[in-house]
Amino acid sequence: MRFTSDGPALIEGPVELVDADGNPLRVDRFLVAICLCKRSRTYPLCDTSHRRRRRDAES
């Protein structure tokens, strides 16, 4: 796993994740971005919403 400085954690796929309710989520991508900001609409996967937060903070 590799943490980015401003967004998700990146892990090599494919992976099977388990959400807080115990539901499994299979992701077949070769690189999977896990949301750490909890703003993603596709949580636990990153949907790049963290970029909007950064832009809002800069303006």
- Minimal distance, residue 59 CB to ligand FES, in Å: 19
Q: Are 9 and 2 in contact (CB under 8 A)?
A: yes
Contact flag: residue 39 with ligand FES (CB under 6 A): yes
Signed CA dihedral, 38, 39, 40, 43: sign only:
positive
Contact flag: residue 8 with ligand FES (CB under 6 A): yes
Among 12, 16, 48, 54, binds ligand FES (CB under 6 A): 48
Tell whether omega for the bond before 44 is within 30 degrees of 0, i.e. cis: yes
Interacting residue ranges for ligand FES, rule: CB under 6 A: 7-8, 35-37, 39-40, 46-50
